[in-house]
Structure 1
Amino acid sequence: MPPIHDERWPAAAGRRPPRDLWLNTGNGRFAARDFGGRGRDVLLVHGTGHNLEVWTPLVECLAGAFRLTAFDLRGHGRTEVDSIDAEQYWRDIGTVISAMGLECPLLVGHSTGAYAVTAYAADGGECAGVVLLDGFVLDVRRTPEEAAAWRLSRQELWNEYRYGWLARSDEMETYVGRTAAAASGGDGPYAGVPYALVEAVARRSFIPAREGYLRRPTLDDLEAVCRNDVSAPIYPAREIYRRLSVPAGFVFASRGNFARRRDEVRAVASEGENRWFAEIDAGHNLHMQEPGKVAELLLDHFGG
């Protein structure tokens, strides 16, 4: 994969363009991006259905204040390995940190990526801290059946997102254009997000496959990452925060997925030392809608 430089998001003065990388690991090959910059290593971890393109606006707002990196989660973007279960989802973070040569990085995760960085740190993974962008686990342990009960059906996911679609080239181009226009021009979770950014995220969600392009993640991938061993010590439940010993920021989106559970998120943030709570007036995709405000929080808490 050649180095990239997209004029829609020009490199800041004195900073080299970002470089796309292939990480060959014992767990498979991961697609990653080194955005450059100086200072503390930071690894950005996207949520379900997204890919590393979502971080471009935040990177530009930080203007090289950190050494910023990101990767496509398994089953997403250009990463070649598929999902196995929810545990592998977060265990890959250590694999990527090692492959990129990062030193005790700050981990910033969005949505499912926020849980992934929480689980990695809770399991003792080395990091300087975690910042959770509208991605929290606030309930007690559930059985796999209970955890899956609230999720959309395969048919609903297909109708809404076309996950797992094998499209022709022209079909892919039409889908990317329509998705970008509808998302950025609406009042949903992408309201106010530039068309070019939504287009870049949508385009990276397709990879060449057989005689067309495969829309990722697939429905099988989404089912795989819902598989949790209810007896495992690391589990997506509120108790996981008791295992955190590193600084942790809880960044709440006022119009996001947890809008009705603000007090619960604030309570979790107040239960341990070296934790902080911040609220941003944005939807679930706050790092794309309000990247400047997210950047300010990172600089205030970890920029020294």
Structure 2
Amino acid sequence: MVETTPAEAAALPDELEAPGEPVLAVRRYGAGSGHRGRGPGAPVPVVLLHGLGGTLEEWDGVARILAAHRPVFSADLRGHGRSGDASWCLDGFVDDLIRLLGHLGVERPLVVGNDLGGAVAACAASRRSDLAGAVNLDGVAWPDAERAARALGMAADAAGIQVDLARAYATEQLAASRTPQGAEEFARCLEGLRAMGDEGPMLEASVIRAAAAADGLVALRPGPRGMRAAMDAFDEFVPERVYPRLLVPLLSLVSTGSLPAHPGAPSRFADVVRAAASAELARTAPLLRTGPIEQTAHHPHVTHPAVVAGAVEGFLAEIGG
């Protein structure tokens, strides 16, 4: 029998459901660890949200690190993982989060989200003053034509076309990744994920959680149509409107590592992505702080969980959590 240390035992997760429309699948870390108390001096709880096409499994590495010191929860967004389906709109995702927080009964939580989840966290920070704060990890909007023009060294009209091409390419790539596949092809996909190194098991678990099998085929939630609709919901996030309205501190972390090759991508795709990152890092607002994560180009919570957990703990220390 393998024994666990007290810290490891504290981090063991259990599964919950937040009722309502839609039902939300939740994972709780730190159950029974003795640090769920409320009141002065109690550690700030952390709620983790994944991005487009992901599941709560992506946060497992970060969650286990954070759960050594505080209660941690992660959730599947609507239409993802094991949560229920609902309309694709940014306000709906934010409403789900607020309902989830009420169900969990957590006081002054820090909400941390990646990608779409980061946009949801930022919007919640502009609507709720009862949060400790929020972290937006790579919830980066596409740059407007003027910002893109300065970064790409071209006229605004031409830069706007490049942004549209980049967005269309990203959307179709994400939608294509959800095409139903045969069971054998899916098994090979899982084998490839397992071979990816330390992050492989988390990625494999996330894909399995998102999978639904029928008639000899395996489909991932959300499907191609849902993925396009979720991208449209993400486009509703306008930082220029959200950040000036923040009610609690927000940390925007942006991955700035080298981008991998994208076969078939528009010629200026990488430049547009870098322009979006630069625009996010340059934003200012009274309760906003920004910073780069240089180790990777995307999904640092999966590839570098200790780095992200350290950034979260550092932010909590700054804001008194």
Q: Give the Cα separation in 2 of the matches to 1:17 and 1:192.
A: 22
Shift in CA distance, 213/292, structure 1 to aligned 2, threshold 3 Å = same
Amino acid at match of 2:199: P
Match of 1:74 in 2: 78
Q: Give the Cα separation in 2 of the matches to 1:278 and 1:157.
A: 24
Amino acid at match of 1:151: A
Match of 1:182 in 2: 192
Q: Give the Cα separation in 2 of the matches to 1:47 and 1:11.
A: 31
Match of 1:31 in 2: 25
Amino acid at match of 2:307: K
Q: Give the Cα separation in 1 of the matches to 2:175 and 2:242.
A: 32
Amino acid at match of 1:32: V
Instruction: Report the CA distance between 1:192 and its aligned residue.
Output: 4.6
Percent identity, aligned pairs only, is: 23
Q: Which entry has the higher C-alpha Rg, 1 or 2? A: 2
Q: Deviations over 1:183-212 (max 9, x none)?
A: 565xxxxx6543222210110011356886
Contact 1:12 1:60 in 2 (8 A): no
Contact 1:129 1:247 in 2 (8 A): yes
Q: How does the TM-score come out when normalised to structure 2?
A: 0.74
**Which structure 2 segments of 5+ residues have no match?**
36-42, 146-160, 260-269
Shift in CA distance, 206/292, structure 1 to aligned 2, threshold 3 Å = same
SS at 1:64's partner residue?
A: coil
**Which structure 1 segments of 5+ residues have no match?**
1-6, 186-190
Q: Give the Cα separation in 1 of the matches to 2:22 and 2:229.
A: 17
Instruction: Report the CA distance between 1:118 and its aligned residue.
Output: 0.9
Shift in CA distance, 55/264, structure 1 to aligned 2, threshold 3 Å = same
Contact 2:13 2:29 in 1 (8 A): yes
Match of 2:249 in 1: 247
Shift in CA distance, 298/239, structure 1 to aligned 2, threshold 3 Å = same
Shift in CA distance, 277/80, structure 1 to aligned 2, threshold 3 Å = same
Q: Give the Cα separation in 1 of the matches to 2:212 and 2:243.
A: 36
Match of 1:3 in 2: none
Match of 1:286 in 2: 300
Q: Give the Cα separation in 1 of the matches to 2:11 and 2:305.
A: 21
Amino acid at match of 1:291: P
The CA RMSD over aligned residues, in Å, is 3.4
Instruction: Specify which structure has the higher proportion of strand.
Output: 1
- The yes-or-no answer on 1:225 pairing with 2:230 is yes
Q: Give the Cα separation in 1 of the matches to 2:175 and 2:289.
A: 38
Contact 1:83 1:225 in 2 (8 A): no
Contact 1:107 1:130 in 2 (8 A): yes
Contact 1:148 1:226 in 2 (8 A): no
Amino acid at match of 1:275: R
Instruction: Specify which structure has the higher proportion of helix.
Output: 2
